[in-house]
Chains A and B, each alone.
Chain A
Amino acid sequence: MSESKKTFVITRFDPDKDEVPKTQEYEIPVHEDWKVLDAINFIKDEVDPTISHRWSCRMAVCGSCGMMVNGEPKLTCKTRLSDYGDRVIVEPLANFPVIRDLVSELDGFMEKFQAVKPWVIRAKEEAGAVSASNPPKSSKGTFVQSAAELAEFKQFSLCINCMLCYAACPVVANEPEFLGPAAIALGHRYNLDSRDQGLDERNEVFRGEGTVFSCSFANECSEVCPKNVDPAAAVNQAKFGAVIDWATSLVLPRPGASKEGGK
């Protein structure tokens, strides 16, 4: 294995000691097949144990290690070091408050995430005739869902909550109320699921302030998504759904919980 040296410029911030974030440089030997995360872990273990960062699975599925690498949001465990030159700038995710060093504040995201009601919502009266809005269940207690119905939402269920899309989105940077790409994609994922009946409830959320219509379709979220979820598609499909929903409500004032719409 050939080794070379690279310099890492890492953001340091300790609220008890620093007024504002500063940077610190580390020159270390790197292996050619390292990811950016391997280099940060090397610095933490061997050079400076005072650096704080989050990581766990190192296989691009837990979503912990999102950071800015040379100004772009990256999942550092899958970002090849060999794609970068001798100086690599590592910063905490953009558009998030910073707790310390490379650790950003997640609770704002968690609130938005919860706001879209990311769980299967079923109408109160479960019994009654089987219909499109009340699909049949098998004798084993599972829903019948075709492969085609699964394919309709599958892509939007692949989000690992790494929040790179929030770091890339120009609307997130300027509009604190904006629900943002991952949260809207998640709500949309449940709206598209044939087992779910929560469309109306979620459209209430989507019609509110700072939601789907705040999106200006910069498409940055989809550009940086490490899992090809394409949140921009979800947000704009949700826009479409919300418009249809609004238009139908003009024609048919809904009595309680009418169904269909964008499903």
Chain B
Amino acid sequence: MVEVSRHDIIIVGGGAAGLRAAIAAAEADPSASIALVSKVYPMRSHTVSAEGGAAGVAREDDNFEMHGQDTVKGSDFLGDQDVIQYFVEQAPKELALLENWGCPWSRNDDGSVATRAFGGMTVKRTWYAADKVGFHMLHTLFQHSMQFENIVRYDEYFVSKLLVEDGACRGVAALDIRTGDMHAIVGRAVILATGGAGKIFPFTTNGMIKTGDGMALAYRAGVPLKDMEFVQYHPTGLPGTGILITEATRGEGGHLKNSEGERFLVEYDYGVGQKAELGPRDMISRASILEMEAGRGIQGSYGEYVHLDLTHLGEEKIMSRLPMVRELCKIYAGMDPVHQPIPVRPVVHYMMGGVDTDIDGATTLPGLYAAGEVACVSLNGANRLGSNSLTECLVFGARAGLHSLEFAKGSAAGSDDGLRAQAEEEAARVDALRGRKKGGEKIAAIRHEMTSAMESGCGVFRRQESMGAAVEALVQLKGRVSDLRLEDDSKVFNTEVIAALELHNMLDVAEVVAVSAHHRKESRGAHTCRDFERRDDQNYLYHTLCYHDPSGPRLDKKDVTLGRWEPVERKY
């Protein structure tokens, strides 16, 4: 029989957003029991790979108005302005809190916290700890969280279903990876903080664990996914592996160059104007691809690339500000950025879209909250500015933590028996999948076909035809995935069955991305459609909602919250 454990709030995901939510709730009410459920030990969460920094107004020459305006403009006017206003006001407080908890932020000469320049930001407002910001933030949060006795961790539990009763989310069915047994972890509110879904693409900065689990969980529970067509390509990933080379390289003065050795963002008009390398990511990624199409890319064994030149920065600056970049280049590209330009190409990095939430992190399903990359609170609109997302995890993680606590206080607990029955149904589904030798399809093969379809259909530049082809390919793959063949019938630490569950999740998310992209007949932010090259505020200034439906994804619209920043042409 499925074991049931009871808590007040259940947080799924142990990265920055999940940990911040857990700490906020644990601090606010020491009597509340908070479950932190994650498929990996929290310090393995992908927050760890973020490099460049976290944005928050810190300097005398900066203010909330400017941070807000930069963010709205970066979002190509698809960000909700009430959310952005709240975000910029909370950002410095959250970052200061992290400083108080021990985050080793880099310092100015006077001992205050230092900030650096970042793409799309008009002032230096990105707090940093050399180029290991995500690593330090995650470890600071995780270590800080350990002192709260009311945070109960479920490490290496894979949540495969949300438990919904009487129209409210009251828990999760979680597979204990170690034993292979299903657990029902039940409570009064659930927060999803599972991160993005970069692994639906073949070439991504994301780690293996970023399979869109939380998005798929919410989607299948009837919650819409919002703005999923907006997939951020980071301009500078290492060819082959897709390992991220931080935007801080450009913030510290690095140059992008083509095969002619020209700074193409300066020499040609790509709309980034004076900002050049400090332009927003969507524009620079497009520029890099256009350079390659114009025959000014460099051929390598992993396809074409351009150069990111740091050689003029000097060894001292690289070692003090960008030590990890140098380490990564040496290990994974076999070159030293002190002496040679780094080969880079645009790489899938971040999902602007996600589970539709309001400013409190609440979804349309009562009791279900979401924060961080899994959520779409509409801070980032059609294009996120670099260094806003780490802060987003803190600001909206904390808010979701507090609001879910409020909700939990006024909410009845679900019935053990009813929720157990749901978890038992889920256990049967997973049991049927484990060691399913009668199937004919290989996990790796379907995964490969899915990522290829996404790359050709939903790349930096998209066409109606290619997006349509991707949708069709995904529908077909979703049919085939029900006939998976699994070899491993063992219950203990069976990573094959986890991979199968993740593959189901990824296919759901990939389909939503392709369907949402196919419907948006304009070019806005990261969604660039060659058939419709201009932004169309008349017809498309809205958020795309995508609902799960047995007959296939169903689209809907949601208004953008505008405010003092009126949509104008986006030029830098």
Direct contact of A and B (CB under 8 A): yes
Binding site for B on A (CB under 8 A): 1, 14-17, 33, 44-46, 48-50, 52-64, 78, 99-101, 103, 106-107, 110, 113-114, 117-120, 138, 140-147, 149-150, 153-154, 157-158, 160-161, 186, 190, 193, 195-196
Q: Quick one: which of B64-123 are within 8 Å of A by CB?
A: 92-93, 96-97, 99-102, 104-107, 109-113
CB of B563 closer than 8 Å to a CB of A: no
CB atoms of B44 and A144 under 8 A apart: no
Bound Cα distance from A110 to B92, whole angstroms: 32
CB atoms of B100 and A142 under 8 A apart: yes
Given contacts A57-B208, A142-B99, 13 further A-B contacts (CB under 8 A): A58-B208, A60-B327, A60-B328, A62-B48, A106-B155, A118-B146, A119-B144, A138-B112, A140-B58, A141-B93, A142-B96, A142-B113, A190-B102
SS of A interface (majority): loop
Q: Quick one: which of B527-546 are within 8 Å of A by CB?
A: none
CB atoms of B106 and A150 under 8 A apart: yes
Q: Specify which chain A residues have a CB less than 8 angstroms from the CB of B488 in the assembled complex.
A: 49-50, 52
- Selecting from B227-235, B271-279, B378-386, B492-500, the interface stretch reads B492-500
B498 and chain A: residue at smallest CB distance: A52
Knowing A46-B444, A59-B328 touch, does A64 contact B100 (C-beta < 8 A)?
Answer: no
A63: which of B43, B107, B486, B493 is its contact (CB, 8 Å)?
A: B43
Knowing A55-B208, A56-B40 touch, does A150 contact B104 (C-beta < 8 A)?
Answer: yes
A186 and chain B: residue at smallest CB distance: B143
Bound Cα distance from A48 to B328, whole angstroms: 30
CB atoms of A120 and B144 under 8 A apart: yes
5 residue pairs A–B, Cβ–Cβ below 8 Å: A62-B45, A63-B48, A140-B92, A143-B100, A150-B104
CB atoms of A64 and B40 under 8 A apart: yes
Bound Cα distance from A138 to B111, whole angstroms: 9
* Closest Cβ–Cβ distance, residue B242 to chain A (whole Å): 9
CB of B332 closer than 8 Å to a CB of A: yes
CB atoms of A140 and B96 under 8 A apart: yes
Q: Specify which chain B residues have a CB less than 8 angstroms from the CB of A17 in the assembled complex.
A: 490
Bound Cα distance from A237 to B370, whole angstroms: 43
CB atoms of B99 and A143 under 8 A apart: yes
CB atoms of A144 and B41 under 8 A apart: no
CB atoms of A59 and B243 under 8 A apart: yes
* Closest Cβ–Cβ distance, residue A175 to chain B (whole Å): 24
A161 and chain B: residue at smallest CB distance: B43
Bound Cα distance from A153 to B139, whole angstroms: 15
B100: which of A99, A103, A186, A195 is its contact (CB, 8 Å)?
A: A195
Knowing A61-B49, A119-B101 touch, does A49 contact B493 (C-beta < 8 A)?
Answer: no
Interface centre among A114, A144, A196 (most CB of B within 10 A): A144
CB atoms of B101 and A52 under 8 A apart: no
Bound Cα distance from A143 to B107, whole angstroms: 11
B500 and chain A: residue at smallest CB distance: A49
CB of B326 closer than 8 Å to a CB of A: no
Q: Specify which chain A residues have a CB less than 8 angstroms from the CB of B244 in the assembled complex.
A: 59
CB of B547 closer than 8 Å to a CB of A: no
Q: Specify which chain A residues have a CB less than 8 angstroms from the CB of B334 in the assembled complex.
A: 33
A119: which of B92, B109, B143, B487 is its contact (CB, 8 Å)?
A: B143
